Amino acid sequence: MESIYNIFAAILVLLFFNKVLDEIVTTGSPNLDLSTIAWAFGKLDRVIVTWVCMFTSTSVLIYLAFNHWAHHRHTMPVLYDVVAGVLYVIYLCLFMYLPPQSLLYYDLPTASSFIVLCEQVRMFMETWAFVRSNSGRARSYKKNDDASSNGQNTSILCPDFSHYLYFLFAPTLVYRDEYPRNESCDWQKVLNDLGQVVGCLFYIHFLFVRFCVPVFQRFGRESFNGTTLLVGMFSCMFPGSLVLLCSFFAILHAWLNAFAEMMRFADRMFYKDWWNSTSYARFYRTWNCVVHDWLYEYVYRDIVNWQRRQGEGCIRLRYLPMLVVFFISSVVHEYILAFAFRFFYPVLLVMFGGFGVAFMFVNTKARKFNIFLWVTLILGTGILMCLYSMEWYSRINCPPTYVSVPLRETCVS
């Protein structure tokens, strides 16, 4: 892992000097032009306001409502369950509706929109995990239990707020009352991890400015054909793969480890050796263990348990839980991209929800399949980066009357 890290650091240094040399030759001065990254992360004050509102509702509102329901439902179970269920669904709908409206109202740029949307999805998942994990306590509580336990049962109907608050900041999406904890926090490691996140952001910036912008910035002003598409795809494969790996390292390694260290969170299994996967099934299980654990715990297992309760006929649909998991994951990914880019262009939805599902049925443990996996990952990231870049610059360069058809974009005068 350290060798791979050093290789990527060396590539970043070379890209930096390449950019400096190019600016000196073109303009006569080493102008790095960080305007793109400054624009992408603009309006951070609006982002903070939106985040505080989301976090307040997720932490305070959800906990107070759940605590009240847990301690009083035994008096009128049916009424409390119906009212609480309706209010919970309304809250989740509003939580999915209001943050996107906020970023549209403030017209947040791309990276700032990604922050709001990813945090919205994270808090939604944590809300679901908390309610789903603890609702069974209240439902199993009986009114006469206090008489046999001297009132001690009421203390476990709802966890302490400190447990819930810790869960909201801990780098996990699966709720537990207690997590393994380290004895101390190494703040030097925290600063090092956060510094690596910043370094990855500049890394991705250089990749886009050096390889993406020059290829696509005039797209929509010039004629388009199949050759242009092929050249664009293959020119995006190298930078697209680096963007994928940098994003993985920045989020799933550096960012999560920084918060784990700050929270003294001992379970650091955020990913496994997905790069050695010999099947797509193993790749999906090891690429992002944090999200995978949530999907397995609160979607896959619940559907399997529901199938068992329905009987033999439903159990035979053994691929249903997996297909539901893929559908939810692909829709959420496309939802984030659509609101961040301000257009719906379901390339990722088709590739992840279509080809990604199909590759799951390729059942093999042959080492050579790892080559196929890497080829498809590199090809897929190149296609994604190419098509989304084409769509982005077409909407910038084209007149208001705009026609967009997959694999062909035309400006209409």
Rounded Cα distance, 28 and 20, in Å: 10
Rounded Cα distance, 155 and 92, in Å: 27
Are 118 and 104 in contact by the 8 Å Cβ rule? The answer is: no
The secondary structure element, H or E, covering residue 408 is: strand 408-411
Helices of type H across 150-300 = 161-169, 187-207, 213-216, 226-248, 256-262, 280-287, 289-295
Rounded Cα distance, 369 and 362, in Å: 10
- Eight-class DSSP state of 143: T
> Which residue from 201, 232, 235, 204 is spatially nearest to 219, judged by alpha carbons?
232
Rounded Cα distance, 113 and 52, in Å: 15
Rounded Cα distance, 78 and 81, in Å: 5
Based on the residue annotation, tell me whether 333 is a catalytic residue of this protein: yes
Rounded Cα distance, 23 and 141, in Å: 70
Q: Which residues pair with 405 in a beta bridge?
A: 408
Contacts of 3 (CB under 8 A, 6+ apart): none
Q: Which residues of 39-61 are buried (b: 16+ CB within 10 A; e: fewer)?
A: ebbbbeebbeebbeebeebbbee
Catalytic center residues: 333
